[in-house]
Amino acid sequence: MIERARELVKDFEYGKEDVRKATRHFIKQMNEGLQRDGATMGQIPSYVTSVPNGTEKGLYLAVDLGGTNLRICSVHLLGNTKFSIIQSKCAIPSDLMLAKTASDLFAFLAKEIRAFLKANHNDQLKSHMIKVESGHTNQKACSDDFLRLGFTFSFAFEQHALNKGSLLYWTKGFNIPDAIGQDICGLLQTEIDNLHLPVIVAALVNDTVGTLLARSYEAPGTTMTLLGAIFGTGTNGAYVEKMQNLTKLELSDQPPPEEMILNTEWGSFDNALDVLPNTPFDSIVDSESIHPGIQMFEKRISGLYLGEILRQTILDIVPLSTTIVIPKESPLYQQFSIDTSFLSIAAGDTSPALYVTRKELLQTLDIEASHEDARAIRELVLSIGRRAARLAGVAIAGIVIKSGRLLPSPQNSIPNVGDKSSVVSTQQLLSNDRKIPEKLPKNFLERFYQWIQRTFSSCFEPKPTLMQTPSPLKVEAAGIVDIGVDGSLIEHYPDFEKIIRTTLRDIEEIGLEGEKRIRIGIAKDGSGVGAALVARMADLRTGKP
Ligand code: GLC
Digit-coded pLDDT (tens) for 76-97: 988 888 889 999 999 999 999 9
Its pTM stands at 0.86
In the predicted model, what is the mean pLDDT of residues 22-26? Answer: 98
Q: 28 CB contacts (<8 Å, ≥6 apart)? A: none
Region 71-79: mean pLDDT is 91
Residue 238 CA: nearest ligand 1 atom is: 10
From 18, 43, 45, 19, select the one nearest 29 (Cα to Cα): 43
The answer to whether residues 532 and 63 touch, using CB atoms and an 8 Å cutoff, is no
Cβ of 268 less than 6 Å from ligand 1:
no
Best residue among 205, 230, 268 to mutate for probing ligand 1's pocket (most ligand atoms within 8 Å of CB) is 230
pLDDT of residue 4: 97
The Å distance, Cα 91 to ligand 1 centre, comes to: 17
- What is the distance between the alpha carbons of residues 513 and 139, in angstroms, rounded to a whole number? 57
- How does residue 451 score in pLDDT terms, banded at 50, 70 and 90? very low
Asked whether 422 and 479 are in contact (CB, 8 A), the reply is: no
pLDDT at residue 200 in the model: 94
Q: Cβ(289)–Cβ(268) under 8 Å?
A: no
Closest C-alpha to ligand 1, atom 9: 155
- Residue 71 CA, ligand 1 centroid: distance in Å: 16
Q: What is the pLDDT of residue 126?
A: 86
Q: What is the 3-state secondary structure (H, E, C) of 372-410?
A: HHHHHHHHHHHHHHHHHHHHHHHHHHHHHHHHCCCCCCC
Mean pLDDT along residues 256-273: 95
The model's confidence at residue 479, banded by pLDDT at 50, 70 and 90, is confident
pLDDT at residue 425 in the model: 27
What are the tens digits of pLDDT across the range 122-155? 888 888 888 888 776 655 545 667 899 999 999 9
The SS3 of residue 234 is: coil
Average pLDDT over residues 192-213: 94
Q: Give the Å distance between the CA of 171 and the centre of ligand 1.
A: 7
Among 205, 231, 250, 243, residue whose Cα is nearest residue 305: 231
Percentage above 90 pLDDT, the chain:
68
Residue 397 confidence (pLDDT): 98
Determine the distance separating the centroid of ligand 1 and the alpha carbon of 155, expressed in angstroms.
5
Would the CB of 488 count as within 6 Å of ligand 1? no
Distance CA 162, CA 529 (A): 16
Probe residue for ligand 1, chosen from 71, 155, 204, 208 as the CB with the greatest number of ligand atoms within 8 Å: 155
Question: Does residue 230 sit in helix, strand or coil?
Answer: strand
Name every residue whose Cβ is closer than 8 Å to that of residue 156 and which is 6 or more positions away in sequence.
42, 44, 167, 168, 169, 171, 206, 263, 265
Q: How confident is the model at residue 469 (pLDDT cuts 50, 70, 90)?
A: very low
Ligand 1 neighbour 40 (Cβ under 6 A): no
Q: What are the angstrom distances between the C-alpha of 86 and each of 37, 71, 117, 356, 491? A: 39, 10, 11, 34, 21
**Cβ 64 under 6 angstroms from ligand 1:** no
- The rounded Å distance from CA 172 to ligand 1 centre is 8
CA 530, CA 225: separation in Å to the nearest integer?
Answer: 13
Instruction: Please give the backbone phi and psi of residue 144, each rounded to the nearest 5 degrees, phi first.
Output: -65, -30
Positive or negative, the CA dihedral 153, 465, 209, 156 is positive
- Whole-angstrom distance, CA of residue 107 vs CA of residue 192: 8
Phi first, then psi: what are they for 158, rounded to 5°?
-95, 125
3-class DSSP state of 99: coil
Residue 325 alpha carbon to ligand 1 centre in Å: 38
**Lowest-pLDDT choice from 79-88, 361-370, 433-442, 468-477:** 433-442
At residue 441, the pLDDT reads: 37
How is residue 471 annotated by DSSP?
Answer: S
More confident residue, 407 or 399: 399
Coil, helix or strand at residue 227 = strand
234 CA distance to ligand 1 middle (Å)? 5
Single out the residue of 370, 363, 324 nearest to residue 345, CA to CA.
363
Question: Would you say residue 414 has pLDDT above 70?
Answer: no
530 CB under 6 A from ligand 1? no
73 lines ligand 1 (CB under 6 A): no
Mean pLDDT rounded to a whole number for the chain: 85
User: Measured on CA atoms in the order 208, 303, 295, 508, is the torsion positive or negative?
Assistant: positive
Ligand 1 atom with the smallest distance to the CA of 157 is 9
Q: Are 340 and 381 in contact (CB under 8 A)?
A: no
Q: What is the DSSP letter of 127?
A: H
pLDDT digits (tens, 9 = 90+) for 527-542: 888 899 889 888 877 7
3-class DSSP state of 177: helix
Residue with the larger pLDDT of the pair 422 and 347:
347
Residue 263's beta-bridge partner residues? Answer: 44, 238
Burial zone of 456 (CB within 10 Å; 0-12 exposed, 13-18 middle, 19+ buried): exposed
| Separation CA 71–CA 96 (nearest Å) | 15
pLDDT recorded at residue 112:
97
Quick one: residue 479, left, alpha or beta (phi over 0 = left, psi -120 to 50 = alpha)? left
Give the distance (Å) from ligand 1 centre to CA of residue 132: 38
Q: Which among 392, 414, 399 has a CA at the least distance from the CA of 482? A: 399
pLDDT band at 193 (very low <50, low <70, confident <90, very high): very high
Nearest CA to ligand 1 atom 2: 155
Count of H-run helices and E-run strands, the chain: 19, 15
CB 143 within 8 A of CB 231: no
Phi/psi class of residue 246: alpha, beta or left (left: φ > 0; alpha: ψ in -120 to 50)? beta
Helical axes 371-403 vs 2-11, angle rounded to 10°: 10
For residue 42, the CA-to-ligand 1 centroid distance in Å is 12
* Binding site membership of 42 for ligand 1 (Cβ less than 6 Å): no
490 Cα to the center of ligand 1, angstroms: 15
CA distance 231 to 233: 7
